[in-house]
Structure 1
Amino acid sequence: MAGDYDPYAIGGKPSDEGPRERVGASVGAGTSAANELRAIIERMERLAEEKSAIGDDEKAEMANAKARGFDTKAIRKIIKLRKQDPAQRSNEQTVLETYMAALGMLEDEQ
C-alpha cells in the first residue's frame, strides 16, 4: 500500500526497530556512523591521491626508459603479457601465429 513506503527507511520499507533503522538518523552529525562515514571518505581520498602519485611515478619511469633508448610500447606489451596466465598467453600466441601464417606474414614462408 502507499502508506507502507517510507523513503527514509533502508530499502524504502518501514521498520519495527524505530528511528535507528532510518538512514538519516544513523548518519546524523556527531554520531559514530557519521564518524565512520567520514573516515571511509578520507581513506578513499587518500587512496585516490596515492593512485595519482603512482600514476605519475609510472609515467616518469616510462620517460626514463624512453630516454635510455628502450621501446616503451614493447615494455608495456611485456608488462601486459607477464600479467597473463601462461596457458592463456600461449594460446593467444598460437592463435596469432596461425592467423599470421594464413596471411603469409611469417618470415618462414617468404
Structure 2
Amino acid sequence: MAEDQEDAGADVGGIAADRLRSIIERIERLEEERKALSDDIKDIFAEAKSAGFEVKVVRTILRIRKQEPAEVEEQETLLDLYRRALGM
C-alpha cells in the first residue's frame, strides 16, 4: 500500500500523475463555481421578470453592452435601413 502511494506521484507512461490530478481537480472546482454562478444568474433573471422587466430585452441589452460602440452603431444603422426598405 505504501508503494502505491509512492507511485501516485511518479510518472506513469510519461504522465506526471500528481500534476494531472492537480489540473483535473482545479477544473472540477471551476466547473462547480461556474454552475453556482449560472444558478445565480438564473435567479437574477427571475428577479428581473418578477419586477416586470422583459427578460428577452434584458438579454439583448447585455449582448449589446459586450459589443464595441462602432459595431452597435453599424448594426442599428443597418436595422433602420432594412426596416425602411420594408416599410416598417
TM-score, normalised by the number of residues in structure 2: 0.84
Distance in 1 between the 2:41 and 2:70 partners? 28
- Paired residue type of 1:26: G
* Alignment partner, residue 25 of structure 1: 13
- In the comparison of the two structures, how many residue pairs are matched? 78
SS at match of 2:13: helix
Once the two structures are superposed, residues 29-65 of structure 1 have per-residue CA deviations (whole angstroms, 9 ceiling, x without a partner) of xxxx210100000000011111111110000000001
The Cα of 1:26 is off from its aligned counterpart by 2.1
Distance in 1 between the 2:79 and 2:13 partners? 59
| Aligned residue among 43, 49, 58 for 1:75 | 58
Distance in 2 between the 1:39 and 1:24 partners? 15
CA RMSD of aligned residues (A): 1.3
| Aligned residue among 54, 63, 67 for 1:84 | 67
- Paired residue type of 2:62: I
Identity %: 47
**Ranges in structure 1 where 5+ consecutive residues have no aligned partner:** 1-22, 28-32, 106-110
Structure with the higher helix share, 1 or 2: 2
1:1-110 paired onto structure 2 within 5 Å: 24-27=12-15, 33-105=16-88
The Cα of 1:25 is off from its aligned counterpart by 2.9
**Ranges in structure 2 where 5+ consecutive residues have no aligned partner:** 1-10
The Cα of 1:24 is off from its aligned counterpart by 4.4
TM-score, normalised by the number of residues in structure 1: 0.68
Once the two structures are superposed, residues 54-106 of structure 1 have per-residue CA deviations (whole angstroms, 9 ceiling, x without a partner) of 1100000000011111111111000000000101110011111000000010x
Q: Runs of 4 or more off by more than 3 Å in structure 1?
A: none
SS at match of 1:70: coil
